[in-house]
Structure formats: structure tokens, C-alpha cells
Amino acid sequence: MSQSFELKVLEDLTLNTKQVQDDLLEEILRVNANTEYLRHFLHGSSDKELFTKNVLVATYDDVKPYIERVANGEPSNVIAGETVTSFILSSGTSGGKLKIFPVNKIFFENLTFI
């Protein structure tokens, strides 16, 4: 990619932040609506309004049991719509305890985009 193309993409993203965020939420919900975690709130729907109404801000401790189940060998769809390919560890600087985070191909695709 050329530098001018990359700057254009960055400019488009920053000028249209609301639309970018709405599109991203729609994609996240589409991919993850049928996970065990989100089914409790959305009943299989990927509706943004239902999500904002029913899903409160979650802490790590809220999702930790689901993450641990996948880390212990249960299927990825407990917490993720795409197959969990690995786990990363936090540095432990927040509260002094290491945290594990499931990652998948979408995570790595987004990481390389940045």
C-alpha cells in the first residue's frame, strides 16, 4: 500500500467515526451473537438496539468464567464466534494479576491493519 492510500484510509476512519463504530459493532454482533455469553442477553439476535439495552458494560471478572472454560478445552463458541486460536497474557499491571485473553484470526487481521 502506498503512503497516500494509507493516509486516505486513516482520514476516512477519523472523519466518519460514528459510522465506523456502528459498522464495527454490527460486525462484532453478527459474528458473536450466537455465543453462549451473548445468547444470555440477545437470544441469538444481532440487533444493536437490543445489545445496547440488554448488555451492560462488562468487567474482566464478568467474562473470566467463559474465557477459562475455553482455555480448559471447551468449544470457542462459549465466548467467541470465530475459533479461538490462542491466548495472550496481560502483563498483570492492572490489579497485579495476570489475565488471559482469547484471540482468533480476526484479532490478528485487525492487528496487522493497524
pLDDT recorded at residue 94: 74
Cell numbers linked to 61: 471478572
The residue ranges of every structural domain in the chain are 1-56, 60-114
Q: Record the pTM.
A: 0.79
Residue 71: partners with Cβ closer than 8 Å, 6 or more residues away:
87, 100, 102
- Those residues of the chain that have pLDDT short of 50 are none
pLDDT recorded at residue 92: 78
The SS3 of residue 45 is coil
According to DSSP H, which parts of 1-114 are helical? 3-15, 17-32, 36-42, 48-54, 60-71, 105-113
pLDDT recorded at residue 79: 95
pLDDT recorded at residue 108: 81
